[in-house]
A and B are shown apart, each in its own frame.
Chain A
């Protein structure tokens, strides 16, 4: 195995930022040299709501590595409060100040009385771990601010594992809310796509729903602290996983499922399938590669394989979570080779060898996609070259049809002359 690593995943900083930025009235202070802040800002500006980027730098300069930058961090906290009046200010301590020993927790605790916003700190040195750990740790940190509820509302659930900068996240969430609402289940708080007050109010739910395994640690801590049980569900791609999702949630709440509603939804999917049946037949056995994070990629690959009859020749998991090994076992038979957090060079070579027709991945697969003349369907983080403003969904029953049309169109809109060149 090579030592050098062209990573398919980011460091803790990005994972933490993705969770924190999901709190709509939060400000993230990147306490780091300018490159880390610039990187965060770019990822947010290119990959999500462009007028809602809430990431600032602590202004860390080269000479601060000698004298420390705690003063700069406190200035950044003060200024964040003054400019943005947020509910939450999160300071993320990156490699340089972490090695220097900046006491960011001390800075935050010394300012608690003067700053109305909640102050949160997190160790996110680049060498301290991968992005998914940062995401998990940030969600767990949120539990420190949650307010216990004596009698949580019945039929209210929290959704855990949502990342607002995933492609179609807003549309997916809308569809998931709709599916649950149809079954008489309301969403209390989404972790993390909520205001800070909603985060604090998360214990007012009778069940935590962990989608795809992301945020499992948070669910465990909430069970321990607030007595809220959790249920693990797949990310609802396709008819089977959507049905499973609804059934799992309803069952854990002790509710009867409205089967008629499900049947009606499935019928709508059937009608859609009918409209493109010949192209769907054409997709059968098409070799593809799926590249993405554990929380979504396994379920997407299983849908492609099981419901569309597509051959997932290679599944590359760019970022793990606590369920990754279980998912590998469960998914056995649905995919060909499974790579976990592979080196990008080796992964690309394997994809080339696999001779795939379509790649499901992120913007960073664009070059490979051009090289192979295989269309790239952007489903994984980061997507910084495709926008969504109409909130389409890939999740749920409606998302099933949207996925079908996206895949079919990706193939048939290609210019065959270019491919043959």
Chain B
């Protein structure tokens, strides 16, 4: 398999992921609960086992993994709470359950995940884990979902925070940790395929004399987690509460590739699109500065950049004058990548319906403006359409003589049947989009391939009705989506005061909901429906 994942094994994996990536789930019609998020973390740590402190349903139903529906969580033991436990408490069961989990699976970490029943009856998971952990030969950590406020995905954030708080930086065993001076950790969401996606970044760091202490999650084990506090810096995709805690307790700095906090202060849209040649140069330089390596970094970045630009100029051949319709949003293929690829963004489509139940009008407008500003920075002058019908889109596409529409496979057929070719951003975003100089070169190759795809005039999917606003959904699913949105936001008002960029609050909420969507294929930054 090649570094960028173009081998046949990887190709099957991409198709496999994409098959399930069209589910309109995260933030669109449903939100996975905290158990799923915590299970995702437990699953990503090879020698960890979850123990769900709750009834059978909390363990059985959660085997269906909402983040990777193709890959169930096969091991989900639970304490099998019943109605008697709800009355008398389930702490004894939890205590016994931890012991048995150790005896059965011999893990190096047991992650206790509490559930609605055990939370509501007030079982003291903290006291139980403290009591039992000395009796078993492994770490025991509990996650309730209460440690991280509204940071999303709550279960994932909370479980990682719990591991940091109770295990890695608990103030008792971590004092004499020998630092791996001048090194960083690269910690990405467990569904990213970290090993492949950060290989180039690690290589650039190596040239900049910055060591890579750990890459997570890439066959990560508990012993790897214990090594995390040895680094000088944690690099994460998004704001992570565990990283902030590790900064406070163990003086490991943190750098967020997507700078929501900074965006809130500076309102620079490029902070939220850290890709392409210039975005990557900025990120590498900022990390180098934090590591005190800005001197050497300048030379390395310059050299790498120049090498990439030379190859990029060759890769761009055939794309000059190509016009594309891009979809704006918090995520999606970054507009600056299109700039690098040498294409022109002639139409910018923003769909806000899915966010309407969760964000204020002001926040939505800000996201639209942010996309327009980024287009301007990239020297594009697109016709911007906000919540257009498909007919309006097609008209604009024809008017501007656009060659290619960036459209996920949920709506591609709507353009194809009109004779317009499409580029599916899903695979690109999941498997290729990353900080690094190779990414735009790969995009050029993929865009050229898309321009050569045969015309698909009669896709069977066109036999179905589609919602006039949320193009990727049938009318039925659009109703489910609207119902979900309304019912989550109604009378109680949660979600109505949300502003873009609220640190660790709604801004992050939006960001991460969207990110999760992207990772299973619901790309286009939440504007797509």
Contacts and interface: CB of A to CB of B under 8 A. Distances in A.
Interface of A: 2-14, 32-43, 45-46, 51-53, 56-59, 61, 63-65, 71-72, 75-76, 79-80, 83-84, 94-96, 99-100, 125-128, 130-131, 345, 363-364, 366-367, 382, 384-385
Interface stretch (B93-101, B186-194, B204-212, B302-310): B93-101
Contact of A3 (B29, B31, B54, B97): B97
Contact of A72 (B51, B97, B492): B492
B32 A127 contact: no
Nearest to B357: A59
Given A11-B61, A34-B33, A128-B83, A59 B487 contact: yes
Interface in B469-507: 474, 476-477, 479-480, 482-484, 486-492, 494
Contact of A43 (B54, B61, B79, B492): B61
B62 interface: yes
Given A3-B97, A10-B56, A13-B57, A33 B116 contact: yes
A51 B24 CA distance: 12
Contacts of B32: 34-35, 38
Nearest to A56: B483
A71 B491 contact: yes
A76 B82 contact: no
Given A99-B116, A127-B117, A57 B487 contact: yes
Nearest to B30: A38
Contacts of B70: 385
A8 B83 CA distance: 19
Nearest to B75: A6
Interface string B38-57: 00000000000001001111
B76 A6 contact: yes
Contact of A5 (B30, B62, B77, B480): B77
Given A79-B483, A125-B117, A61 B64 contact: no
Contacts of A80: 483
When A and B form their complex, which 3 residue pairs have the shortest distance between CB atoms, in order from nearest?
A35-B33, A11-B57, A59-B487
B249 interface: no
Contacts of B474: 51
B57 A10 contact: yes
Given A94-B116, A99-B121, A6 B57 contact: no
Given A94-B116, A345-B77, A6 B487 contact: no
Interface of A is mostly: helix
Given A11-B58, A57-B484, 5 more contacts: A5-B80, A36-B61, A46-B20, A72-B491, A131-B57
A3 B33 contact: no
Nearest to A55: B480
Contact of A35 (B36, B86, B484): B36
Contacts of A71: 491-492
Interface residues of B, number: 67
Interface of B: 20, 23, 25, 29-36, 51, 54-64, 66, 69-70, 72, 74-83, 85-86, 93, 96-97, 100-101, 104, 115-117, 120-121, 464, 474, 476-477, 479-480, 482-484, 486-492, 494
A56 B487 CA distance: 9
B483 A34 contact: no
B114 to A, nearest CB: 12
A83 B57 contact: no
Given A2-B104, A34-B30, A61-B494, A75 B77 contact: no
Contacts of A13: 57, 61
A52 B487 contact: no
27 contacts: A2-B104, A4-B96, A5-B78, A7-B60, A10-B56, A10-B61, A11-B55, A11-B57, A11-B61, A12-B57, A35-B32, A38-B25, A39-B62, A43-B64, A52-B476, A56-B480, A57-B487, A58-B487, A59-B484, A72-B487, A72-B490, A75-B487, A125-B83, A126-B56, A126-B57, A127-B55, A367-B74
B83 A127 contact: yes
A47 to B, nearest CB: 9
Most central of B51, B61, B474 by chain A CB within 10 Å: B61
A126 B81 CA distance: 8
Nearest to A130: B56
Nearest to B487: A59
A83 B56 CA distance: 33
Contact of B29 (A4, A9, A41, A94): A41
B30 A37 contact: yes
A367 B97 CA distance: 24
Given A36-B33, A72-B492, A95-B115, A51 B61 contact: no
Residue of B25, B36, B116, B484 most packed against chain A (CB within 10 A): B116
Nearest to B35: A35
Contact of B72 (A8, A10, A96, A363): A363
Interface centre among B64, B76, B482 (most CB of A within 10 A): B64
B483 A7 contact: no
B101 to A, nearest CB: 6
Contacts of A385: 70
Contact of B59 (A6, A38, A127): A6
Nearest to B495: A61
Given A43-B64, A75-B490, A127-B55, A345 B104 contact: yes
